[in-house]
Amino acid sequence: MRVESMPHDLSGFEGESLGLLLFEGDLDGINCLGDLASEVRSRAELERFTGNKESFIKATFPDGRIKRVILAGLGKREKATPDAFRTGAALVVKEAAKSGAASLALATPTAPDASVSQALTEGALLGSYSFDRYRSKKDEPETKIKQVMVAGGDEEALNRGALFACGQNYARDLANEPANVINPLTFSGEAQKVAKEVGLECTVYDESHLQGMGMNALLAVGKGSAIPPKFVHLVYRPAERSAKRVAFVGKGITFDSGGLNIKPDEHMRGMKGDKMGACNVLAAMRTIAHLRPPVEVHGLIGLAENMPSGDAYRPDDVIKAYNGKTIEIGSTDAEGRVTMADVLSYASKLKPDYIIDMATLTGACIIALGGYMAGLFSNDEDFARDLLSASSRSGERVWRLPLDDERLRKRIDSPIADVANVGGRPGGAITAAMFLQEFVEEGIPWAHLDVAGVDNYKEPFGYYAKGATGFGVRLFLEWLYSII
């Protein structure tokens, strides 16, 4: 799908489909349609369309200069965020596609600024996403929308929105792939392929390298699988020497059976999605290579398959991580944090200005925040504030949780090792984040996003399709732009 700008004046526009986004109670915005305004307003009044958020109606004019007009509601003007425009654009694109449209114009009564232009582009591309490559009979409409024109759109913002959305859709594709397709070997191969295509540095460390490096935690998690673990280090370097260096860390458990602490059947389904943090890192690095920001960015991915076998790591095992700290294993199903221990330790050695990690880490975070918001943990107030601000722009909602409860921290004390990998169910998302913090060097601003609740949606809504979400890709990119 191509997204481009067109003149904002709609009075003479001719086309097969036009989506007009309106605030609640502001039907005067229909006047921008010129000679069609009166009839469209009559249709809106007949259908009692008022512009409520996520509402829409369609008016068809077979012999008119515009064949179909779709009105979409943004909700109250005073509560509007970029996400309202993102969602509105997605709804219009879906409805136009159902009608067989191949092209679509998107408009607002007044010319959109840069943030709205970007949001409209993201909504159009994200809303048209589907994953059905393994279905003989496709779910998508026979006609795909190939062109979207944003009336009065800011060209630079449209291009940025297209790159951001394509990054998230790439992460969705990768995360939706089943474990018999994507495993540590094939994922690392995909990373090498992407790096070659877009001009990133890429180093893949195999089992023998990991042993020599002392990445015993990552090795332990992958021991039970016939497919050995991998560690991927991607680097984007700007044309000129950068004053800032960022490390982006992703959890890449390509399938999580729970290991010897095996999951029950109802919890094992969907565990192909335990790699979404890694998918987000690769997607973001791919996008960064096109955006060319003046910041050095390292993408670090620990890849393993957590399986039970005679070689699998066990409860009560003690493992020495990359930074020398020892971990007592309380549960092999708390494998993500063990994997991340090595990768975060490695990230710290790079002496970055910031470390941010994304991981489908804990079911406890879902219990705490529900299934539509990620948990944010950080050791730095300014960093946390900036990420919350980026979240408000990207529409990927996060809520900050604490790291300063000293009594809760005692739950991951171990009598025989430096730290235990589980601390019980109460505050489980917090103790998991506290565990990760043990592997980040003091003085480095660090943030952890627990995306376990938002990695996959069972029902479509807004600009999300059923399946993997790629939640967090655009948040990271929005934050990265904020520090330039």
Q: Give the mean pLDDT of 419-424.
A: 97
CA gyration radius, the chain: 24
Distance CA 330, CA 314 (A): 9
Residue 279: both structure tokens together: 């998918």
pLDDT of residue 144: 81
Query: Do residues 326 and 415 make contact, with C-beta atoms less than 8 angstroms apart?
Result: no
Distance CA 385, CA 394 (A): 14
Q: Residue 271 in 3-state DSSP?
A: helix
pLDDT at 190 over 70: yes
pTM score = 0.96
Distance CA 136, CA 134 (A): 7
Distance CA 388, CA 478 (A): 11
Which amino acids are annotated catalytic? 263, 337
pLDDT at 133 over 70: yes
Is beta strand 66-73 parallel, antiparallel or unpaired with respect to 15-22?
Answer: parallel
pLDDT of residue 454: 98
Distance CA 236, CA 198 (A): 10
pLDDT in tens, 61-115: 988 899 999 999 999 999 999 999 999 999 999 999 998 899 999 999 999 999 9
Distance CA 399, CA 369 (A): 8
Query: Do residues 341 and 327 make contact, with C-beta atoms less than 8 angstroms apart?
Result: yes
Percent of the chain scored above 90 by pLDDT? 94
Give the chain's domains with CATH numbers. 2-128 (3.40.220.10), 164-482 (3.40.630.10)
Q: Give the mean pLDDT of 188-194.
A: 98
Buried b (16+ CB within 10 A) or exposed e, 180-212: eebbbbbbbebbbebbeeeebebebbebeebee
CA-closest candidate to residue 125, choices 276, 287, 273: 287
pLDDT of residue 140: 55
Residue type, 307: M
pLDDT of residue 142: 53
The mean pLDDT of the chain is 96
Q: Give the mean pLDDT of 209-238.
A: 98
pLDDT in tens, 473-483: 999 999 999 99
pLDDT at 459 over 60: yes
Residue 238: count other Cβ atoms within 10 Å of its Cβ. 14
pLDDT band at 129 (very low <50, low <70, confident <90, very high): very high
Residue 397: count other Cβ atoms within 10 Å of its Cβ. 17
Instruction: Report DSSP state, residue 320.
Output: E
Buried b (16+ CB within 10 A) or exposed e, 285-318: bbbbbebebebbbbbbbbbbbbbeeeebbeeebe
Q: Taking the alpha carbons of 401, 406, 408, 409 in that order, is the dihedral positive or negative?
A: positive
Residue 367: both structure tokens together: 């219990």
CA-closest candidate to residue 287, choices 470, 82, 149, 145: 470
pLDDT of residue 136: 85
Distance CA 472, CA 479 (A): 10
pLDDT of residue 139: 59
